[in-house]
Structure 1
Amino acid sequence: MESLINKTISLHCTNLDDLAANEDTAIKDYGLTLLAKIVSSKKSNPKVVQSILLKSWNPSEGMKVQFHHDNIFSILFNHEWDRNRIMKHRPWSVMSSHVVVRDWPQQLNLDEIDFSKSPFWIRVVGLPPNLMTKQNVEKIGSKIGEVTEVDFTSDGKLAWLRYLRIQVQQDISEPLRTGFTRNKDHQQQAWIRLQYERLPDFCFACGRLGHTNRSCPRKPPDPPKNMASPYGPWLRADNMENCPHTACWSPSQMLTLLPAFYPINHYLFHTPQSPLSTDQMRHRGDKPGLAHPPTMIILAWNIRGLGRAERVKALKKDVRNLKPDIIFLSETLSSSSKLSPLFDSLGFLNKCFVPPTGKKPAGGLCLAWKMGVDIEITLQNNNIINGLIFSDPSNQPWMMSMIYGPPHSANKRSFWEDLSSVLSLVLFVWEILMQLWINLKNSEEIQLPLRPMND
C-alpha cells in the first residue's frame, strides 16, 4: 500500500505553456472553417447529411465536410464568401432537425466548443400599432435571449404589419418561448405571440428541439382538459397549419377546393425584367463576377397530389433539368410534415405551406425557394400565397402573387374585390400567376387598378 502511495505522489502533469501557435496555418484553415452540430437524439448518416448540404448550400467554390462525434461536423470552404453566406442565412436544418452552425475559435479544441446557442428569426405577433417600436421589440427579444438584429423600419408604414421580426441568439437546451402577456386597460391582459421562422421539428410536450413528443425523455403529464398545450405547429411562422391566423381575407373564403375541371400543365416563367436590364439581375448575396442566369426561374405546377410516386419523380426531374429558384405547387393534397422532407432533399429549405382542407383532403398550396432568394410572405390562405421579393434585384423589391382561384361561383366576386383591394396598395412591380375556374358573368365586371410595370 505504501509503495502504491509513493507511485501516486510521483505522478504529475507538466504544463505546456511554451507551445507556439502556427498563426499562418490557423488563419488560413480555421478562417474558412465552420462547425456544425445536428440537434437530434438520433445518430445522423454522414453521407446523407453531406448530400443535403451540398444541394442546399450550393457553395460556389466547393467545400469539404469532415464528421466527428455526437453529430458534430466541420466544413472547410474554399472561399470566404461562401462561409459568410452560410453564417448570414442561419438557422439551418437537415432532415427536419435543427443544425447549430458557428465559427471555430482558433484557441479552442473541438470538445471545448459550445453548441448550446443558435440564432432564430422570431416574429412578434399581437402588438397594436402604438406599441410597434424598435425599443419595445428589442425589450421583448431580450427576454428570449441575446438580440443580434432587428428588422425594423421607422418610415411610418407599420400600421398594416401583422408582426415585427427580431433575430435572437437563444439557448436551444431550454423550451421555446411561446409568448408574453401585456397589461391592458381595466386590469385586462393581452397575449403577444411568438412565431419562429424556419423552425424544424420540436417536441410538442416539453417545447425543446432535438426530439419529438413521441420520444420525449421528460414528457410532462397531460394538461387538464380545459387547458391546451402551449406548444404546437402554430409556433412555426411559415407553417400555419391547424392554426387560425389573421389575414385580409374573410373566413367565408377558406373554401374546400375541388379538383380542376381540366388538366393544367406546369408552367415555367421568368420574373419581370422591365425596366431592369439583364446585367442588373443578380441573386441576392451572389459573388460578383460569377456567371448566373440573368433572371430568376419559377416553376409552377398544379400537381394534383404530391403523394403519388410518379408525381414526385416528375417533380425531381423538372428540378434537376430546369434548376428553378422558386417552386409553386397547387392541389398538393398533402400536409407540410410530408412535403417538407421532400423539399429539403431538393435543396429548397425555405417553405410556406397552406394545408389541404376537409376530411377527404382537397386543395393545398406550397411555395418553396432556395437560399439566396429573399422572400417575405405577406399573405397566405387557401387561395393565395403572396410575398415581397427583395432579391433579383436587391435594390427594387417586387410583389409576387400565386393564386388558386375559388371554385365556387358565390365566392368569386368577393375574391376579386379582395384581390383588387390588395393591388390598390401595391407600390411595387407586381407579378401574378393565376389558376382560375370560371369567369365572372358578362354582366359582372371587376375593375382592377392595374398600373404600368415601371411605375
Structure 2
Amino acid sequence: MEELTKDWKKLSLSSKEDNKLDLSKNKKAQTYTLAAKIFTRRLVNIEVVAKTFGPLWRTRRKFEVSNAGDNILLFAFESDEDIEKVLMGEPWAFDRHFVVFQRYDMSTPIENLSFNRVSFWIQIHNLPYSLLSSEVASSLGEALGVVTMPKDQTEMRGGNFLRVRVAIDVSEPLCRGRRVKFDENEKGWVSFMYERPPNLCYWCGHLTHDDKDCSLWLRSRGSLSPSDQQFGPWL
C-alpha cells in the first residue's frame, strides 16, 4: 500500500480514479497538535496516557488524545501556550518508557515523522572554577545539539557545576562527556549528567529501549557482564 501511494503518478488512471474529489472542506478545525512516540513494545492505552499526563501538565485548557498506530499518539490542544508548557517540561516518560514529542502540522504523513529530538537539562562537571560561566556551558552544549538559553542565566549555575538546556538527537547514544583543553598546558575531561532521564540502556547508551531489548545484549546470548557496560546510573 505504501509503494502504491508513492508511485501513483506512474499509473494509468481510470476516469473514476482520475476524477478529483475535493476534501478541503472536510479539514478539521484549527488545533495545536503534538505527535508523541512511546518507546515500548507493549500497546498503550490512550485513556491511561491522558489520565497520567493530565495532572502532570496542568494545562490551562483541555486536550484530546487520539491513536495514530504503532504507539504514536496525537495530542490536540486548544492553545499553543499549553504545547510550549509540555515541551518546556521535557523529557517525559510513561510507565518508565521514553516519550518523544514533536510539533505536528497534521499534513505530514505519520510514517515520515522522525521522533529524534528531546530537550534535556545537562549538567557539566569537573570544570575548574574559572570556567564556570554561561558562555562555557553554551559552548559545550552546542557540541551536543541546539542550546536554549534561559531568561534567568543563574539557572545555568549549580554550585560547582554548570547546567545547559540542549535539544539532543536521541537516536544516538548519550554523550558521556568531552575531552577539553583548559589552557595551553592542561587537558582534561568534563563529565555530563542528564537530569530526569527515563530508562537508559547501560549496554549501548540509548534511551529508546532498556537493557533486555538491546541488540548488543541479545547478540551476546547472555555472555556480557556488568563490567562490559559503557554506560550507567552516573549519567
In 2, Cα distance between equivalents of 1:17 and 1:90: 43
Task: Say which of 205, 208, 212 aligns to 1:207.
Answer: 205
CA contact (8 A) 2:204 2:230 kept: no
Q: Does 1:57 align with 2:44?
A: no
In 2, Cα distance between equivalents of 1:169 and 1:16: 45
Q: Does 1:191 align with 2:189?
A: yes
Per-residue displacement from partner, 1:162-213 (whole Å, max 9, x unpaired)? 2222121111111000111223579654221111111001101100012221
Per-residue displacement from partner, 1:352-390 (whole Å, max 9, x unpaired)? xxxxxxxxxxxxxxxxxxxxxxxxxxxxxxxxxxxxxxx
In 2, Cα distance between equivalents of 1:224 and 1:50: 37
In 1, Cα distance between equivalents of 2:129 and 2:40: 39
RMSD: 3.4
In 2, Cα distance between equivalents of 1:209 and 1:71: 16
Task: Say which of 148, 160, 163 aligns to 2:161.
Answer: 163
Partner of 1:111: 111
Partner of 1:28: 30
Distance 1:118 1:153, change over 3 A: closer
Partner of 1:135: 135
After TM superposition, the score normalised by the length of structure 1 is 0.42
Distance 1:184 1:140, change over 3 A: closer
Distance 1:172 1:17, change over 3 A: farther
CA contact (8 A) 2:133 2:162 kept: no
Per-residue displacement from partner, 1:395-442 (whole Å, max 9, x unpaired)? xxxxxxxxxxxxxxxxxxxxxxxxxxxxxxxxxxxxxxxxxxxxxxxx
In 2, Cα distance between equivalents of 1:56 and 1:109: 29
Partner of 1:179: 177
In 2, Cα distance between equivalents of 1:38 and 1:99: 5
Distance 1:126 1:18, change over 3 A: farther
CA contact (8 A) 2:120 2:165 kept: yes
Distance 1:129 1:38, change over 3 A: same
CA contact (8 A) 2:46 2:65 kept: no
Partner of 1:216: 214
> Alpha-carbon deviation of 1:151?
7.2
Distance 1:107 1:149, change over 3 A: farther
> Alpha-carbon deviation of 1:145?
1.6
Partner of 1:125: 125
Choose 1 or 2 for highest CA Rg: 1
Structure number with higher helix proportion? 2
Partner of 2:4: none
After TM superposition, the score normalised by the length of structure 2 is 0.76
> Alpha-carbon deviation of 1:49?
2.0
Q: Could you say what secondary structure the match of 1:233 adopts?
A: coil
In the alignment, structure 2 segments of 5+ residues that lack a partner are 1-9
In 2, Cα distance between equivalents of 1:94 and 1:129: 38
In 2, Cα distance between equivalents of 1:87 and 1:153: 19
Identity of aligned residues (%): 26
Alignment coverage as a number of residue pairs:
218
Task: Tell which has more relative contact order, 1 or 2 (C-alpha 8 A, sep 6+).
Answer: 2
CA contact (8 A) 2:124 2:162 kept: yes
CA contact (8 A) 1:35 1:72 kept: yes
Per-residue displacement from partner, 1:24-53 (whole Å, max 9, x unpaired)? 956712xx2211111234433333322212
In 2, Cα distance between equivalents of 1:35 and 1:216: 25
Distance 1:107 1:186, change over 3 A: closer
Displacement over 6 Å in runs of 4+: 13-20
